[in-house]
Structure 1
Amino acid sequence: MDTAEGFSNVKLLASGGYGRVFSAREEFWERKSRSSRSVVIKTMGRLHHGYVRMSAFRELFILSRLQPSPFIVNMYSSFAFVDQTSSDVTSLHVTLEKMDMDVGQLLRMAKRGPRSGLGVRWSDEDWSSIGLGVVHNVLSGLEHIHSTNVLHRDIKPGNILVNVDNSGRPTVVKIADFGLARAIDGEYSHDGYLTHAVSTRWYRAPELLLDRTSYTSTVDIWSTGCILAEFLLHGVVLFCGSNDTDQLHRICNLMGLPGTSDLPGVTATVNDGPEAVDAVDGGLQCLLPPHITAEEMSLLTSLLTFDGTRRPSASEVLEQAVFKSRGMGEECDGVQLRAMHIEDEALCLLARSADGFVDALCTQDVQFRCSSSADSLASLTESLASFDNDDNHDDDNDDAVFSTKDSHSLELFERAGCGSAT
C-alpha cells in the first residue's frame, strides 16, 4: 500500500446517513519517489454506534481482501482520526481510485445523446454491445467476489464505476461500494442469520423481497440481470416498484407467477392469489426492442431466474454463448484471491466495541491521525462532526452471527459479546 503524504482540492461529492464521499488530489510516496493522483475518499462517521463500527470495519476488511482485481475498485490506503482527549476513533477514511463516472450516470447521459457530452448518439447495437460488455465485466468481478465467500448485496448502476472514451464506451468497468457486503462460510449454516434488508429495491432479488433470511450469492446475479435489461431498454429501469410488495407485483406481472415449488409464499404475498397479478401478454420478450438476439434474450432470462436456488452462478453465466460469440473471454485467469471464513467474520463482530474496533483496525495497517492535525483533511473531521448524533439507532438490525459449533469460533463470538452460537 502506498504511503499517503497529504491531500489538496478536497471537494464533497456525496453525503449519506453514516458517511460522505470526497474527491481530492493526493500526494504520496512510491518507491522513494513523490507523486500525485486524483482519488476518492470515502469517510465513515457516527462511530459511537457499535453497529456502525462493525459495518465500517467489515467494508474496509472485505475491500482490502479483494485486492487486487481488475474488476474491483482499487483501494490505495486507509486512515482514521482519533480524538486526543478520549482516544476514541471519530472517523474512518478509505482512499480509492477515482473513475470517470458510474453506470447510472452513463445511462442517463446516453439517453440524452450528444447534448449530454458523449459526442454521439448510441445505436440499438451500441446499447446492446455496451451493455453486454459492462455486464461481462460485472460478472467477472462477481466471480472473484463470490470465490472469496463474499456477497456484494448492492449491485446497481450507481455502484458500477467506469472510465469511458469519447463516444461513451466504457474502457474500464469496476465494482465499488462494499458497504452491504457480507462474508458467508460454506462450511456453516446461515439459515435465519442473514438480513433481507439489503440491495436497492429496483435491483433486489425476489427472495429478498419475500423477507428470506437465507440466500446465496445469486442475489447479485439477479441485480446484474436488471442492469442488463436497463441497457437493452435504452436506459429504462425494468422493475421500479414503490415498495417491496409493488416491486414483487411488477416482477410477477412481467415474468409470470412462479410455481409453488420455486418460492413458496409468493402467491400469498402478491395479494393472496394469482388473480392479483395482471400478467403482460408475451412477458419479457414483448417489452424488449425487436433487435434483441436470441442469445441476448437467453442471457437475460437466465440472470432473471425467479428462484434463487436455480439461478446460475457468475462462472456459469460467463460460459454462455452470447459472450463467446463476441470474443469476451476470461481476462484475468491469474487472479487468485484468498477466501474469507468464519474467523474473518468474527473479527468484524469484535469491531462492535470501541476497543475491539481499534484492535481490528490495527490488523489492517490503518494509519491513525490526531483530529487536531494540521493535515488538510481536518476539514473532513469537522464535516463529520456535523452528523446528527442519533442514539436511537437499532444496533441489532444487522446480520446475526454464523451458526457453528466450532470451539475456536465460539470463543471469538463470545469475545464479541454475541453469546453462544447454535
Structure 2
Amino acid sequence: MALAAFGQLNMEEPPPILGSRSVDCFEKLEQIGEGTYGQVYMAKDKKTGEIVALKKIRMDNEREGFPITAIREIKILKKLHHQNVIHLKEIVTSPGRDTDDQGKPDNNQYKGGIYMVFDYMDHDLTGLSARPNLRFPVPQIKCYMKQLLTGLHYCHANQVLHRDIKGSNLLIDNEGNLKLGDFGLARGFSHDHDVNLTNRVITLWYRPPELLLGATKYGPAIDMWSVGCIFAELLNGGKPILPGKTDPEQLTKIYELCGSPDENNWPGVSKMPWYNQLKSPRPLKRRVREICRLFDRHALDLLDKMLALDPSKRISAKDALDAEYFWTDPLPCDPKSLPKYESSHEFQTKKRRQEMRQNEEAAKKQKLQHPQQQQHGVGQTHAASHWPAGPNHPMHNAPPPQLSHAGGPSGHHYYQNPHGGTPGPNRYHPNGNQSGGYNNQSRGGYSSSGSYPSRGRGAPYGVGPPNYSQGGGQYGRGQNPIAGGARNQQYGWQ
C-alpha cells in the first residue's frame, strides 16, 4: 500500500478490519445523543470498566450497503491522531436486533448493528454554556479557543475540512481538554480547489457567506468563519451572534454585522451563483468593531479577522494561534486548573427542558379540566388531590424556535451528523449577559472548584500523548512565552 505524502491523508487506504468485538461487551448506561444517523449512548466496558461513547450507525434507510458518510468519517478519524481531536477507539457490531439503554428493542428493521466507539467526554460546549449562572472567565475562554484552534490547525495541515464547527461538536472533559467531534460532514481537500464540493454543510448559524451565496470551491476558511462565531458567542456570554432561521435571513444578519459584499471588499463575489438573488438591497457598512466594542481590544482584533467576508482574507488557524490575544494577560489557563462540572450535553439539556414543558402543559390542562377547583377557598383542602405536583410557574427558558432544514444549530449530539433545531437565545439563563460584551473587571478570576461539583462521572480514562509536541508553557503558566515568529516553533507545523 503506497504511503501518503507528509501532511496528507491516504484516503485510498481502506480502514482496518474491525468489528471483532460485540457491542454486548458494553453496558449502555444512558442515551446522550440522537440524530438522523443513529443514537449515542454513554456505556461502560464490562471487562475494563472504562466509560465510552457508543455511536450507532443507523442502517434502516440504507438500500445499497454501508452509509458513505460513515465510511468517510471512519477513514478520516482513523488517520487523525491529536489530543484535540476525538479518538475513534474501535468499531463493534451486534449480531442481533439491538436494544436501547432501557432494554427495549430498537426500530431497525434489519438484524444487527454497527457502532463507533469513542472516548467519552463529559460535556459539549453548548450544554456546558447553557448551565444556569455559569459564565466563562477570560482565561477559560482563551484556554478553550486555543485548544479549538490547535485541533483545527492539525486537521487543516492534514488537508481535512471539518465542515460542521459548532458548540455541540466541541467536546470537553472534566480535565479541561477540548476535542473536535462529529466528523460526519468532514472530507479531505486539495489546496488548488479544483473539486466542486457541496455548499449544504455547516449548521446555519455558523455557515459562512460564501456557502450561503452558492460557492462550491472552498477551503479551510469556511471552518474559520464558524470558529469566529463560536468565539463571539463565548465573549457574548453564550448568546449566538447570527441566529438566522433561513438562508436569506442568515445572510441579512451577516450583512448587518459585517457589511454588504461587493467587488471592492470581496473581489469576485458578484460571480457567486446566488449573489444577484441574495445581495443586499442597499449598501451596508461593516459594524463588527462598533457592535462588539465592549470586547477586549485584542479579542476584537482577532474576531474581526475571523469574520472577514472575503475568505481569502480570513485568518488561518495557524495565524490565529499567534494572535496577541493569546499572548497578553490574562493568559490562557492550564486545562487541569478548570472547575469540574456535572455532565452537560446539549441532548440532555433539551430533554430536561422538554420534560419541564410537558409538566407545565399538564398543569395547564389539569386547570382547564377542573375549572371549578379554582373557586374553592384556602380551607377546602379536599381539592388539593386533583392538582399535580409538577411546576406550574412560568419557565425561564422558552421553547426552542422551529427552524427550517439545516437552519439553526443542530439539536443533536456532537457524535451525530446533525439536522434540526436547537434552543434559541432564550435557552440561556436570564442572568446571563445580554449586553453584547463583557467587563474584564467584573469577570475577574475564578475558583478552581465549580458550583456544580462532579458526581463521580468524570472521565476515567487517559488521553493519549499529543501527536505533535507543543512544548512547555502553551497555556501560559509562569511567564509569558517569547514573542514573535518563535511562537510557531512550539507547534512543530509548517
Over 3 Å counting, the alpha-carbon distance change for 1:273 and 1:153 in structure 2 is closer
The yes-or-no answer on 1:160 pairing with 2:164 is no
Q: Secondary structure at the match of 1:36?
A: coil
Paired residues of 1:18 and 1:45 also in contact (CA < 8 A): yes
Aligned to 2:124: 102
Secondary structure of the residue aligned to 1:309 is: helix
Q: Within 2, Cα distance between the matches of 1:100 and 1:173?
A: 10
Q: Does the 8 Å contact 2:166/2:226 carry over to 1? A: yes
Amino acid aligned to 1:14: G
Counterpart among 153, 177, 180 of residue 182 in structure 2: 177
Q: For residues 5-404 of structure 1, what are the structure 2 equivalents within 5 Å?
A: 6-28=25-47, 35-46=48-59, 48-50=62-64, 53-67=67-81, 69-81=82-94, 91-109=113-131, 112-113=132-133, 122=135, 126-164=136-174, 171-186=176-191, 189-191=193-195, 193-261=196-264, 262=266, 264-265=269-270, 269=275, 274-276=280-282, 283-288=287-292, 290=294, 292-326=295-329, 327=331
Inter-CA distance 10–268: structure 2 relative to 1 (3 Å threshold) = closer
Question: What amino acid sits opposite 2:287 in the alignment?
Answer: G
- TM-score, structure 2 length as denominator? 0.55
Residue pair 1:196, 1:212 contacting (<8 A) in 2 also: yes
Contact 2:215 2:273 in 1 (8 A): no
Moved more, 13-22 or 172-181: 13-22
Displacement after TM superposition at 1:244 (Å): 1.0
Shift of 1:255: 1.1
SS at match of 2:155: helix
- Tell me if the contact between 2:159 and 2:189 (Cα under 8 Å) persists in the aligned partners: yes
CA RMSD of aligned residues (A): 3.1
Aligned CA distance change for structure 1 residues 328 and 14 (closer, same or farther; 3 Å): closer
Query: Which deviations, in whole Å up to 9, do the C-alpha atoms of 1:214-247 show, x marking residues without a partner?
Result: 0001111110000000011111101011111110
The amino acid across from 2:153 in the alignment is E
Aligned length: 299
* Alpha carbons 1:323, 1:329 under 8 Å: kept: no
Read off the aligned partner of 2:197 and give its amino acid letter: L
Q: Classify the secondary structure of the residue corresponding to 1:212.
A: coil
Question: 1:80 offset after TM fit, Å?
Answer: 3.5
Pair 1:278–1:175, CA change in 2 (3 A)? same
Letter in 2 for 1:108: A
d(CA) in 1 for partners of 2:65 and 2:210? Answer: 25
Q: Secondary structure at the match of 2:140?
A: helix
How far does residue 14 in structure 1 lie from its aligned partner after superposition?
2.1
Q: How far apart are 1:61 and its partner, in Å?
A: 1.1
Change (3 A) 1:307 1:294: same
TM-score (ref. length: structure 1)? 0.64
Q: SS state of the match for residue 216, structure 2?
A: coil
The structure richer in strand per residue is 1
CA–CA separation in structure 2 for the residues paired with 1:161 and 1:240: 22
* Aligned CA distance change for structure 1 residues 52 and 311 (closer, same or farther; 3 Å): farther
Q: Deviations over 1:379-412 (max 9, x none)?
A: xxxxxxxxxxxxxxxxxxxxxxxxxxxxxxxxxx
**Contact 2:263 2:269 survives alignment (8 Å):** yes
Q: Tell me by how many angstroms 1:79 deviates.
A: 2.2
**Structure 1's 190 and 51: CA in aligned 2 closer, same or farther, altered over 3 A?**
farther
Change (3 A) 1:287 1:297: same
Q: Give distance in 2, aligned partners of 1:143 and 1:50.
A: 35
Query: Does the aligned pair in 2 maintain the 1:26–1:37 contact within 8 Å?
Result: yes
Q: 3-state SS of the aligned residue for 1:301?
A: helix
**In the TM superposition, what is the alpha-carbon distance from 1:92 to its structure 2 partner?**
2.5
The answer for the alignment partner of 1:391 in structure 2 is none
Contact kept? 1:45, 1:90, Cα under 8 Å:
no
**In structure 2, how many angstroms separate the alpha carbons of the residues matched to 1:156 and 1:210?**
20
Q: CA contact under 8 A between 1:2 and 1:76: conserved in structure 2?
A: no
**1 CA distance for matches of 2:259 and 2:273?**
11
